């Protein structure tokens, strides 16, 4: 896989596919007179992915490239949705870079061409949300290819650096690299290097901590890791399918009935192969999905029928920390509870602290896990690596071929 060091970028237009899919919060209606245009009141609540993109952007600028950044935000499904405009991202990117970032109000139209045409060497422009264009995510090769042609026409060189999107066969990720000289940006190079440490010559004990809402999101990675990890800790909403599979009451907790058979098979295989599955021993069970609901700590095998589990309990937090203590390699993906609500944040906090205290090579697998680290006030430098791509990192660990990486390797 070539890197940006292998490309001649001085004075050339470089299309940089970044991952700027940041969480936004609406802080009020748009100012008077801007109806129908992107709201300027959307507030970025976590700029981690923007900051992760800075080194590659700055490296290209330093070498005199005209940097055209393209990215997606949310799932507008081919429609222009002002609340998913990248305008707030352009503003924040400019602040972090310390320079003006030209913002195109379309992706491949007149505004994009004008923004690109106005770039000086070392200048930066950001195109509007790629997913406002149906061709970006189309499953029809011809439609996707036609959009890729228009996007590629804006540039002379392509750099792929949006790791959070490399598992998607999208135009900006998969098709554009076929049309331009291309290389991987620093973020993708770093992500792949880290993930290889989780799949090749792993230092043991190798512990995997999985949480989040759905077992179905983690089926592939559990299946693959049963032959590779020494220990798998299960928390979050997905744990209730495991508890139900063991015959326990889970009340109104999140449950995937259709996955019970698969989970039972995983538990059987783990016992057969010597992989240790660690499940919670207690649960924080509430009367409703709300921070101010009545809640109590109950045994994991005795959740009241009229309550729902929203976090692992304090004894489980201690248990998980103890099972992380001797690890030499740890991969964590998915919070242990509804960490955004303080009463149900303690399990996630315990696991995060357990990673730090272990002294192991620790990888936080993007998405909600990375958001939790920042929201709960942990020093990001305390972890070996915080991935920008939750879904991409999971699919890599499943052993799948990721289209975006495949395109950069060709």
Q: One of 13, 49, 66, 244 is an active-site residue; which one?
A: 49
Which residue's entry shows tokens 């109104």? 252
Q: Report the C-alpha gap between 160 and 405 in whole angstroms.
A: 9
The answer on whether 74 is annotated among ligand-binding residues is: yes
Neighbours of 205 (CB within 10 A): 19
Q: Based on the residue annotation, tell me whether 252 is a catalytic residue of this protein.
A: no
The answer on whether 301 is annotated among ligand-binding residues is: no
Q: One of 150, 179, 214, 318 is an active-site residue; which one?
A: 214
The answer on whether 143 is annotated among ligand-binding residues is: no
The answer on whether 309 is annotated among ligand-binding residues is: yes
Helix 346-358 and helix 314-324, axial crossing angle in degrees, nearest 10: 20
The answer on whether 366 is annotated among ligand-binding residues is: yes
The answer on whether 150 is annotated among ligand-binding residues is: no
The answer on whether 389 is annotated among ligand-binding residues is: no
Q: Based on the residue annotation, tell me whether 13 is a catalytic residue of this protein.
A: no
The answer on whether 375 is annotated among ligand-binding residues is: no
Strand pairing partners for 284?
A: 297, 311
Q: One of 251, 367, 389, 390 is an active-site residue; which one?
A: 367
The answer on whether 218 is annotated among ligand-binding residues is: yes
The answer on whether 72 is annotated among ligand-binding residues is: yes
Q: Based on the residue annotation, tell me whether 135 is a catalytic residue of this protein.
A: no
The answer on whether 48 is annotated among ligand-binding residues is: no
Q: One of 64, 109, 145, 391 is an active-site residue; which one?
A: 391
The answer on whether 224 is annotated among ligand-binding residues is: no
Q: Based on the residue annotation, tell me whether 268 is a catalytic residue of this protein.
A: no
The answer on whether 84 is annotated among ligand-binding residues is: no
The answer on whether 316 is annotated among ligand-binding residues is: no
Active site positions, annotated: 49, 214, 367, 391
Q: Which residues contribute to the annotated binding site for ATP?
A: 218, 309, 340, 366-369
Binding residue ranges: 19-21, 49, 72-75, 131, 168, 218, 309, 340, 366-369
Annotated binding site for substrate: which residue ranges? 19-21, 49, 72-75, 131, 168
């Amino acid at each position: 896989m070539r890197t940006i060091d292998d490309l001649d970028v001085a004075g050339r237009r470089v299309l940089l596919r970044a991952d700027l899919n940041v969480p936004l919060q609406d802080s009020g209606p748009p100012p008077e007179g801007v109806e129908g245009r992107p709201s300027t009141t959307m507030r970025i609540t976590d700029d981690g992915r923007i900051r992760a993109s800075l080194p590659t952007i700055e490296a290209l600028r330093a070498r005199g490239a005209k940097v055209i950044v393209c990215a997606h935000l949310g799932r507008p499904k081919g429609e222009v949705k002002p609340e998913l405009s990248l305008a707030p991202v352009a503003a924040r990117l400019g602040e972090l870079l310390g320079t003006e970032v030209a913002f195109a109000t379309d992706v491949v139209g007149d505004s994009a061409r004008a923004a690109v045409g106005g770039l000086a060497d070392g200048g930066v422009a950001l195109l509007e949300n790629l997913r406002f264009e149906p061709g970006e995510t189309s499953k029809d090769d011809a439609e996707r290819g036609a959009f890729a042609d228009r996007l590629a026409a804006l540039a002379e060189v392509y750099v792929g650096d949006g790791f959070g999107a490399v598992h998607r066969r999208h135009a900006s990720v998969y098709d554009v690299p076929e049309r331009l000289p291309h290389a991987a940006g620093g973020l993708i190079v770093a992500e792949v290097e880290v993930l290889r440490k989780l799949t090749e010559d792993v230092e043991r004990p190798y512990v995997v901590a999985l949480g989040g809402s759905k077992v179905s999101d983690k089926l592939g990675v559990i299946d693959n890791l049963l032959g590779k990890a020494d220990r798998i800790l299960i928390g979050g909403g997905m744990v209730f399918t495991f508890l139900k599979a063991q015959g326990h009451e889970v009340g109104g907790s999140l449950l995937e009935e259709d996955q019970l058979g698969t989970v039972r098979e995983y538990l059987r295989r783990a016992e057969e192969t010597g992989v240790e599955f660690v499940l919670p021993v207690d649960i924080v069970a509430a009367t409703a999905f709300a921070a101010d609901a009545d809640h109590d700590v109950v045994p994991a095998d005795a959740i009241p029928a009229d309550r729902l589990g929203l976090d692992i309990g304090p004894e489980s937090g201690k248990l998980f920390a103890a099972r992380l203590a001797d690890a030499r390699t740890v991969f964590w993906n998915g919070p242990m509870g509804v960490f955004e609500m303080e009463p149900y944040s303690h399990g996630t906090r315990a696991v995060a602290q357990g990673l730090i205290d272990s002294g192991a090579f620790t990888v936080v697998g993007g998405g909600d896990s990375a958001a939790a680290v920042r929201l709960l006030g942990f020093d990001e430098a305390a972890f070996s690596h915080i991935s920008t791509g939750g879904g991409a990192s999971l699919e890599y660990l499943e052993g799948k071929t990721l289209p975006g990486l495949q395109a950069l390797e060709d």
